[in-house]
Amino acid sequence: MILTSTPKTDGFYMPAEFAPHQATVMIFPERPGSWINGARPAQEVFSQIIREIAKVEQVYIIVSKFTKPVAKEMLSEVQNISLIEIPTDDAWARDTAPTFVTNGKVVRGIDWQFNAWGGNFDGLYAHWDNDNKLAKALCKELSLDVYDAQHFVLEGGSIHSDGEGTILVTESCLLSGGRNPHLKKYEIAQVLCDNLGGEKVIWLPRGIYNDETNEHVDNVCAFIAPSEVVLAWTDNEDDPQFPLSKACLDMLENETDAKGRKFTVHKLPIPDKPVCITQDELDGYEFEEGEDVREVGERLAASYVNFYFANDILLLPQFGGENAGSDLRAVKLMSEWCSERRIIPIPARQIIIGGGNIHCITQQIPKGDCTI
């Protein structure tokens, strides 16, 4: 059923990602302008992630008629997965799958409007109709009611919830000209609270340098517990990321959450060496007309904050090569801050060259009393 009320009115809210899950949604990759060399290297990494998540919760994998046989072959031995054939334009489940909300018993989806991170203003590809239809189509497949929020442009990577009334966003993204320019800042905050069950929106000024999503919050700052966040950081004041992270730190140190608590901020260093596109990688893309293209030496928005919580585990990006030391440092720090979880390092270069990372390709379905 398509609902025209708001989740908050109905007593629904978005739980924190670190809360118990019922399942995870992913999309098997194939777009030639995002995934190099026929998407095979990315499909192998996606499959590794699916295997790890499927050990602790159900995984729904969106496939096309082309990727369905590939996914079946690569995941033939994996239990606890379901393939669902729905056409999509790309594999960013965080941004195009529904945002799932619950009242503690029932789970429902939210269908935001998706316009490829900016539409005709500064979007990243020319055609996104299939992506925009995904949320309703998936909810229908899962027999879930869905809230119609097509009046509001939003991607899942641009919001974090602590599950206790606090919503974390960045101004650079949500106030961008390609999202909802007809709305004032307080009106955007109201839409977020109405749909996510929030009481307060924390507006971080910026995100990760050169993040083509207009700096999604999930790349720069994430909740790991109520009033406790991880913030992407660098001590190098000459790095273009420094002023962006410093502005976020200043904001967080002078803010409180919806319950009036001060934030505990953990600084998680970005890779010591910038992660950049190589000539070999550039040669592996096939860009279509109207699609954002890449160039050799382009700095990618690499951040360890783009991790994903699943039940009892945390999947953490690793960039390898000259950042092997940075990778180990990130594992050590996250192991300290999330000591109750098993940290699973994932080689993520094949995801970051697509434009995002582990959090960007996953979307959680919170636990409810009714099993989907």
For residue 103, tell me if it sits in a domain: yes
**What is the residue whose two structure tokens read 């299939």?**
130
In this prediction, residue 369 carries a pLDDT of 76
Distance from C-alpha of 338 to C-alpha of 226, rounded to nearest angstrom: 13
Whether 156 contacts 192, CB under 8 Å:
no
192 membership: H or E segment, kind and range:
helix 185-196
Q: Pairing between strand 160-161 and 166-170?
A: antiparallel
**139 is annotated as an active-site residue:** no
Q: Using an 8 Å Cβ cutoff, are 146 and 138 in contact? A: no
* Regions of the chain with pLDDT less than 50: none
Q: What is the pLDDT of residue 211?
A: 98
pLDDT tens profile 313-340: 999 999 999 999 999 999 999 999 999 9
Q: Count up the domains in the chain and report the number.
A: 1
Q: Which helix (H) or strand (E) holds 328?
A: helix 324-337
User: Does residue 157 belong to any structural domain of this protein?
Assistant: yes
- Is residue 371 assigned to a domain? no
pLDDT per position as a tens digit, 197-223: 999 999 999 999 999 999 999 999 999
Whether 328 maps to a domain, the answer reads yes
86 located within any domain: yes
Assign residue 294 the CATH number of its domain.
Answer: 3.75.10.10
Residue 372 belongs to some domain of the structure: no
Distance of CA 260 to the CA centre of its chain: 27
> Which of these is catalytic: 139, 173, 360, 370?
360
308-310 and 313-318 beta bridge pairing: antiparallel
Q: Is 362 exposed, middle or buried (0-12, 13-18, 19+ CB in 10 A)?
A: buried
Evaluate whether 337 touches 69 at the Cβ level (below 8 Å): no
Q: What is the pTM of this model?
A: 0.97
> Is residue 197 situated within a structural domain?
yes
What is the extent of the structural domain holding 54? 2-366
* 149 belongs to a structural domain: yes
